[in-house]
């Protein structure tokens, strides 16, 4: 009808009952929407907001914890490096001490061997001198007995002594 009135140029007059009915229905619709749609939707949005706030707070706490752990790790790494350097320095010092001990022991052994060699040389020399004395004594006795057996002139005696000395040198 409304369309016909506009087409025919007729204007209908104001109907207050319809407006009031539509207004009441709109208010009822708003109340129903608030109770069944808007309220739960706002509750879900509030829960979502709280959840996001908790996640942000947890992320912040995780970041703080990660920074703390990073600082601890850096401190431990620094301490481990310092301990490593100390261990290396200690090992170097011990190696130097061991090297010095080994050198001192080698020198002492060399001195001991040198002294032992000197002693042995001295003993051998004394034995050689004793043997030589025995040979000289036996040669002297032999020469003396030969000289006694033969009465020789000075040239013969000199020749005989040279011959026995040469024989003694050949025996050696």
Instruction: Please state whether the predicted TM-score (pTM) of the whole model is above 0.85.
Output: no
Tokens representing 82? 């310092």
Q: What is the pLDDT of residue 12?
A: 64
* Per-position b or e across 122-152, b if 16+ CB within 10 A of its CB: eeeeeeeeeeeeeeeeebeeebeeeeeeeee
- If the chain, 172 residues long, is cut into consecutive pieces of 10 residues, what is the mean pLDDT of each piece? 50 79 94 85 90 95 95 95 94 93 93 92 89 80 70 72 75 60
Tokens representing 98? 């061991």
Q: What is the pLDDT of residue 5?
A: 47
Supply the DSSP symbol for 150. Answer: S
Q: What is the pLDDT of residue 34?
A: 84
d(CA 89, CA 102): 20
């Amino acid at each position: 009808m409304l369309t016909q009135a506009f087409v025919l140029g007729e204007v209908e007059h104001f109907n207050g009952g319809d407006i009031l009915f539509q207004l009441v229905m709109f208010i009822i619709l708003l109340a129903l929407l608030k109770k069944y749609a808007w309220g739960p939707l706002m509750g879900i949005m509030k829960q979502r907001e709280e959840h996001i706030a908790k996640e942000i707070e947890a992320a912040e706490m995780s970041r703080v914890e990660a920074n703390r752990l990073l600082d601890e790790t850096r401190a431990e790494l620094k301490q481990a490096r310092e301990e490593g350097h100390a261990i290396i320095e200690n090992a170097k010092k011990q190696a130097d001490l061991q090297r010095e001990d080994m050198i001192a022991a080698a020198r002492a052994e060399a001195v001991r061997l040198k002294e032992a060699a000197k002693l042995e040389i001295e003993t051998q020399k004394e034995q050689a001198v004793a043997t030589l004395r025995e040979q000289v004594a036996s040669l002297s006795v032999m020469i003396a007995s030969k000289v006694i057996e033969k009465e020789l002139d000075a040239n013969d005696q000199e020749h005989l002594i040279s011959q026995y000395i040469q024989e003694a040198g050949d025996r050696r």
